[in-house]
Structure 1
Amino acid sequence: MPEILFFHLQSRPLEQVLPTILDRAVSRGQKVVVELSSPERLSALDDHLWTYSDESFLPHVTAAEADAATNPVVLTTKAHNPNAAQVRICAEGVRIPDALQEYERVVLIFDGDDPDALTAAREDWKSVRASGASASYWQQDDAGRWEKKA
């Protein structure tokens, strides 16, 4: 069973926190698949990851690209694992997947200002806890740092 992490965004948007999470996973030698809810958000985050920092380079592709299987980070809108990733990130309304056994770590990033996202995250939290999986809940403080709450 993988480790499940719930990241509650409050003071910083996904565009600011996702590159750091991806950089850490890639630096540990892990492959990551990021599932987003729409092609528009996928396109926007794909563009953002190429330009978010002048000092950093984050290799990534979308699942539609021919070399997706060999890339460390793949962005997708589907519930698949095109690069045999050890880490799955679910964002923008995507729920925790049923196929948890494929991953070492599953991260749910949800917007604390979106009532629907909060409700869905609470449902996923209850489901994950009921399954006996290891889960932790992290919330941003006012400075954007993550604090473990549960």
Structure 2
Amino acid sequence: MQVDFYHLTATPLDRALPQIAAKVVESGARLLIVTARDEQRADLDRLLWTYRPDSFLPHAQAGTGDDSVQPVLLAPAVTPTNQARHVALVDGQWRDEALAFDRAFHFFEDEHIAAAREAWRALGGRDGVERRYWKQSDTGRWEQAA
């Protein structure tokens, strides 16, 4: 299982997440996007329809239709009712339930850096968990730092 930590500094979540989601969907996989905040889920729902003028990411919010057919599902908890094997935690909060997936993306901003560091340390001792830390360069490109 792979956990990618994305420290959002120069690029906000609304630009970073659609890129990751699009890559997951293009690979034929499914993605569960988790945030406990209702307003954030609503904002992301709108974003995924409009983030690029020439495309959209097919998605839904959990419980608003047939979750099982959604390539991308927005949810308040780590419950992959769309059978996703990839999960994106976007509210800055790590959840150990993400370890049941093949890959987890943990997005966090400076206000959640202490919690992200704690999650990084805790995951370091887990068998079968590969951690990667991504930071942004001065030009906004993602670079693997650890």
TM-score, with length taken from structure 1? 0.92
Note the C-alpha offset of 1:99: 5.2
Alignment of 1:28-47 (within 5 A): 28-47=27-46
- Map 1:19-58; keep pairs closer than 5 Å: 19-58=18-57
Unpaired runs of 5+ residues, structure 2, are none
The correspondence for 1:131, drawn from 115, 126, 129, is 126
Does the Cα contact within 8 Å between 1:4 and 1:105 map onto a contact in 2? yes
**C-alpha distance in 1, partners of 2:30/2:143?**
25
Q: Find the aligned partners of 1:34 and 1:95 in 2 and give their Cα distance.
A: 13
Q: What's the % identity of the aligned pairs?
A: 33
Aligned to 1:94: 93
Query: 2:115: which partner in 1?
Result: 120
In structure 1, distance between residues paired with 2:82 and 2:20:
18
**How far did 1:97 drift?**
2.5
Matched, 1:141 2:137: yes
Q: What is the Cα deviation at residue 46 of structure 1? A: 0.5
Runs of 5+ consecutive residues of structure 1 not aligned to the other structure: none
SS at match of 1:66: coil
**3-state SS of the aligned residue for 2:125?**
helix
